[in-house]
Structure 1
Amino acid sequence: MFSILNPGYLRLPPCFVGLIVLKVLLAAAATAQGAEPYRLISGDHVRLNWAGVDAPIEAAVDIDGNLRLVEIGAISVAGLSLDQAEARISEHLTRAGLYQAPQVRMSMTGYAPVIVIGDVAQPGRFDYFPGMTVAAAIAMAGGPGLPAETSIGLARLDADLKGQARALELEITSLRAEQQRLLALLPEAALDGLEGLRDMDRAEVSPSLVTIDATLLQADQRAIHDALIVTEREIEALASQQGLIEERIDLQRVLASGVQEELARVQALHDRGLSTSIAVSLAETRAANVQSDLLEAETALVNVVAVLARAEQQRVGIQTNHEAETLRDLRHNLIQEWTAVARLQSVQQQLRALESSPVALGDAQQELLITLSSVRPGRGNVVAPDLGAQTMPGDTLFVSWSTAGDGKVASLAGTLKP
């Protein structure tokens, strides 16, 4: 267990660095004198070679502990020493009838990484090197980080949370002011079920936001009013034009009736020899012209009626489309507000947890706790290993701070961080 008397001390003490160097050298010397042979693990990388193969083969031990070789398939090597792995691969090559006495040679090209997590400056995965100690692994991770439960750490956390809370409160206030503006644009018929929003306490909204939203409301209402006025004037002009065309049609019909009577009279005289063919032809031409004018007027009436219908539809659409768009904006606004409220509640909960924390700010001495976890058989988990203890490829180191003497890992910062 490593004790830091000054909780705010971020950099590694010189003695800690010296201890790392000393332990690494001692571990390397012990390894050179002979130790338990290294056993392969998932994540290791090896190079294979044997007589008859064109070039060395690079391979990695997969998550299942196998080496996968072309023409052979998966060969389980996890937990084997290099000599044992060579023998097993030779056995598979011989059994497959590919080689006779292949004399496999295996060498390490890389080891499974060591992982360092918790209260260190740069948590992550780090390349293993022979002789790597617990202290060396922590040093590669940047050394122990600042204990979260120091007065500085908690003060910064408190200020950050309060700043977040204030920003969220302002966001919610702005959204609610926007809601009032949107509600004011909707007709009474569209407000069913929205009474609670409409009756919201306007004291929650700042006066400046009320003024801005009132100006926006007036601008929106003017835009709708102006659009309706333009449409109404267009409808009035079309209606007037429709009336004139209808009067013209009535006149044309009277003229057409008179011309038809005149044509019938001239035709009757012609049949009795009392009128010439020229007179009949002229009467027929007049009747055809009047009929053509009548058809033209009726066509113009149809066109005006169609345009008038579209204008009336546009008038209705201005109100309906604006109402639908306002409701969509209101829905989006409410979702934003609910999201902001949920975030605010989370921040407030964190502030309450911070305020009720039993950790004394700046008074408690902090101790560094280290847990070494290994997937290797027989190695298991080691709590508070010696800083000079050897790590192995695939090991995980968890580093955390605790209050001195209570034997518990301090976890307040972990619960408060988003």
Structure 2
Amino acid sequence: MFIGFRLFGFLGIIAFASVAGAEEYRLAPGDVVEVRRSGADEEVSAIVDANGQIRLIDVGGITVADLTLDEAESMVEAELVAQGFFVDPEVSLMLVSYAPVIVAGDVLNPGIVEFFPGMTVSSALAMAGGSQVQGLTRTEILRLRSMVENDMKVANLNLARAVADLAYHQARLADDPVPVTVDPALRPGIPAPGLVNLDGMISERQSQLDALRERTRTLLEFWESEIATIENQRENFDARISVQDEIVASTAEALAAAQKLSQRGLQTASNLSAAEQREADARSKVLELEAAKINATRAIASAQRERVQYLAAQRQEALDGVNDAREQIALQTISYEEAVEQVSILSSGSAAAVVASQIVGLEFEIQSRRSDSDPVEEITMSTPVRPGDTLLVAIRPLEDGVAN
């Protein structure tokens, strides 16, 4: 029995490699391998655990997940050398069985199914007894109708919110502070106005707009005050620079007079040095005032730039809000109309009518513990399933009327 099973597993590996386009199989959690190594009289079977390791007696855990058999053999050999068992060990690994596939969700027999090379979503679904779509009971139809009716309510609510958002952002774009008002042409577009408090939504957004306008007014007043204050400082710097220029001229004259007296021997060296220091201090003070004036000019430019950027950002945000709200109105209108059609079909209470109408379909998700697995954008019945994968099956009301 064991020999035959090993032969079946070996042939399965060959078949799987051919399907995969000769790409070498990489081990996954749940795979069972047979290990032969130096110093061991018999081969041992080891399962790749949830951590991606096989555990060998006297050796411990060795990570082999996502490795080919050749790479896994090299990994075991390296571990034997590292732990001092052998200098040049020989290791042979054979894949005994693939990791099973788990099928869960809306299937007749959820659980573990044995993987075989070439397995697809369709075959895995068949091994789990098929989906529950054909076996819909009246209770399940009522549950689906309840779900769709809830979708109707959500679409109606989202539609009202989008209308209120559109009014809010349009009021933001107005040149004058106008109130948040819904375009009369949009009100009839809300299918069930009695189920939503549109006036309450408008009032809430009016409060948001009032708060935004107050914040904007406060910020603009702050910038105006800051700019005016710095402008006054800059004018003050101009006046001080003018006075200081006079001081520089005066000290320069005093220094020239001191130098003439010094040349005639009528001025001491200390007095001449003091005159030179006063003249240098006066010129230095002019440079300090001019630097302060430059900084004030930069501060004014910075405040003006912040004000312009804030106002531009507010306008762009309002424009984006108008576009998003209009897009939501269109999308939610479509969602509501589709839900109405689905409720009509589900109200018949007939499973045959539901299935024939394609109002429900299967939704698949493949979960893999392999690090080299890329997410599949669209999973169909022909999508391959790999060892160790989990296939989740769900019955969902279709949004586009097309089953997978």
Question: What TM-score do the two structures reach when normalised by structure 2?
Answer: 0.51
Using the TM superposition, give the Cα deviation of residue 274 of structure 1 relative to its aligned residue in structure 2, in angstroms: 5.2
| Ranges in structure 1 where 5+ consecutive residues have no aligned partner | 1-45, 50-54, 69-108, 128-137, 190-196, 363-400, 403-408
For 1:67 and 1:260, the matched residues in 2 are separated by 96
For 1:242 and 1:224, the matched residues in 2 are separated by 27
Q: Which residue among 350, 353, 359 is the counterpart of 1:415?
A: 359
**Given the superposition, is the C-alpha separation of residues 122 and 341 from structure 1 closer, same or farther in structure 2, using an over 3 Å criterion?**
farther
Aligned pair 1:186/2:136, yes or no? no
Aligned residue type for 2:163: R
After superposition, what is the alpha-carbon deviation per residue over 1:159-210, rounded to whole angstroms, capped at 9, x for unaligned?
Answer: 4433321221111101221222122223559xxxxxxx96753575711111
Matched residue, 2:186: 201
For 1:224 and 1:237, the matched residues in 2 are separated by 20
For 2:131 and 2:288, the matched residues in 1 are separated by 95
Q: What is the DSSP-based 3-state SS (H/G/I as helix, E as strand, rest coil) of the residue aligned with 1:57? A: helix
For 1:345 and 1:145, the matched residues in 2 are separated by 24
For 2:158 and 2:329, the matched residues in 1 are separated by 8
Matched residue, 2:54: none
Using the TM superposition, give the Cα deviation of residue 269 of structure 1 relative to its aligned residue in structure 2, in angstroms: 4.2
Q: What is the DSSP-based 3-state SS (H/G/I as helix, E as strand, rest coil) of the residue aligned with 1:219? A: helix
Whether the aligned pair in 1 keeps the contact of 2:346 and 2:354 (CA below 8 Å) is no
Identity, % of aligned pairs?
A: 20
Using the TM superposition, give the Cα deviation of residue 218 of structure 1 relative to its aligned residue in structure 2, in angstroms: 0.6
* Moved >6 Å (runs of 4+): 63-68, 123-127, 142-147
Using the TM superposition, give the Cα deviation of residue 63 of structure 1 relative to its aligned residue in structure 2, in angstroms: 11
For 1:321 and 1:143, the matched residues in 2 are separated by 52
Q: Write out aligned runs for 1:226-241 (5 A).
A: 226-241=218-233
For 1:241 and 1:199, the matched residues in 2 are separated by 53
**Given the superposition, is the C-alpha separation of residues 292 and 345 from structure 1 closer, same or farther in structure 2, using an over 3 Å criterion?**
same
For 2:17 and 2:264, the matched residues in 1 are separated by 121
Matched residue, 1:303: 295
**Given the superposition, is the C-alpha separation of residues 317 and 142 from structure 1 closer, same or farther in structure 2, using an over 3 Å criterion?**
closer
Matched residue, 1:37: none
Q: What is the DSSP-based 3-state SS (H/G/I as helix, E as strand, rest coil) of the residue aligned with 2:9? A: strand
Q: Write out aligned runs for 1:388-403 (5 A).
A: none
Matched residue, 1:313: 305
Q: Which residue among 190, 197, 204 is the counterpart of 1:212?
A: 204
Aligned residue type for 2:219: A
Q: Which residue among 274, 283, 305 is the counterpart of 1:282?
A: 274
After superposition, what is the alpha-carbon deviation per residue over 1:348-371, rounded to whole angstroms, capped at 9, x for unaligned?
Answer: 23245557xxx6x68xxxxxxxxx
For 1:177 and 1:216, the matched residues in 2 are separated by 12
| Ranges in structure 2 where 5+ consecutive residues have no aligned partner | 19-96, 115-125, 177-181, 191-196, 361-396, 399-404
Q: Write out aligned runs for 1:34-73 (5 A).
A: 48-49=3-4, 56-59=6-9
Q: Write out aligned runs for 1:360-375 (5 A).
A: none
**Given the superposition, is the C-alpha separation of residues 259 and 202 from structure 1 closer, same or farther in structure 2, using an over 3 Å criterion?**
farther
For 2:2 and 2:222, the matched residues in 1 are separated by 83
Aligned residue type for 1:201: L
Using the TM superposition, give the Cα deviation of residue 286 of structure 1 relative to its aligned residue in structure 2, in angstroms: 2.0
Whether the aligned pair in 1 keeps the contact of 2:234 and 2:296 (CA below 8 Å) is yes
Using the TM superposition, give the Cα deviation of residue 257 of structure 1 relative to its aligned residue in structure 2, in angstroms: 1.5
Aligned residue type for 2:301: A
Using the TM superposition, give the Cα deviation of residue 232 of structure 1 relative to its aligned residue in structure 2, in angstroms: 1.8
**Given the superposition, is the C-alpha separation of residues 60 and 353 from structure 1 closer, same or farther in structure 2, using an over 3 Å criterion?**
farther
Matched residue, 1:293: 285
Q: Write out aligned runs for 1:6-405 (5 A).
A: 48-49=3-4, 56-59=6-9, 157-188=144-175, 201=186, 206-272=198-264, 275-353=267-345
**Given the superposition, is the C-alpha separation of residues 351 and 285 from structure 1 closer, same or farther in structure 2, using an over 3 Å criterion?**
same
Whether the aligned pair in 2 keeps the contact of 1:228 and 1:318 (CA below 8 Å) is no
Q: What is the DSSP-based 3-state SS (H/G/I as helix, E as strand, rest coil) of the residue aligned with 2:359? A: helix
Aligned residue type for 2:186: D
Using the TM superposition, give the Cα deviation of residue 224 of structure 1 relative to its aligned residue in structure 2, in angstroms: 1.5
Using the TM superposition, give the Cα deviation of residue 59 of structure 1 relative to its aligned residue in structure 2, in angstroms: 1.8
Give the superposed CA RMSD: 4.5
For 1:267 and 1:67, the matched residues in 2 are separated by 102
**Given the superposition, is the C-alpha separation of residues 410 and 331 from structure 1 closer, same or farther in structure 2, using an over 3 Å criterion?**
closer
Matched residue, 1:97: none
For 2:184 and 2:228, the matched residues in 1 are separated by 40
Aligned residue type for 1:316: V
Aligned residue type for 1:289: D
For 2:222 and 2:6, the matched residues in 1 are separated by 84
For 2:231 and 2:253, the matched residues in 1 are separated by 33
For 2:132 and 2:323, the matched residues in 1 are separated by 48
Matched residue, 2:93: none
Aligned residue type for 2:220: L
Aligned residue type for 2:244: Q
Question: What TM-score do the two structures reach when normalised by structure 1?
Answer: 0.49
**Given the superposition, is the C-alpha separation of residues 187 and 310 from structure 1 closer, same or farther in structure 2, using an over 3 Å criterion?**
farther
For 1:171 and 1:309, the matched residues in 2 are separated by 44
Using the TM superposition, give the Cα deviation of residue 275 of structure 1 relative to its aligned residue in structure 2, in angstroms: 4.7
For 2:309 and 2:153, the matched residues in 1 are separated by 42
Tell me how many residue pairs correspond in the alignment: 257
Aligned residue type for 1:173: A
**Given the superposition, is the C-alpha separation of residues 149 and 270 from structure 1 closer, same or farther in structure 2, using an over 3 Å criterion?**
closer
Aligned residue type for 1:165: M
Using the TM superposition, give the Cα deviation of residue 122 of structure 1 relative to its aligned residue in structure 2, in angstroms: 5.1
Aligned residue type for 1:162: E
Using the TM superposition, give the Cα deviation of residue 157 of structure 1 relative to its aligned residue in structure 2, in angstroms: 4.7
For 2:281 and 2:131, the matched residues in 1 are separated by 104
For 2:17 and 2:252, the matched residues in 1 are separated by 107
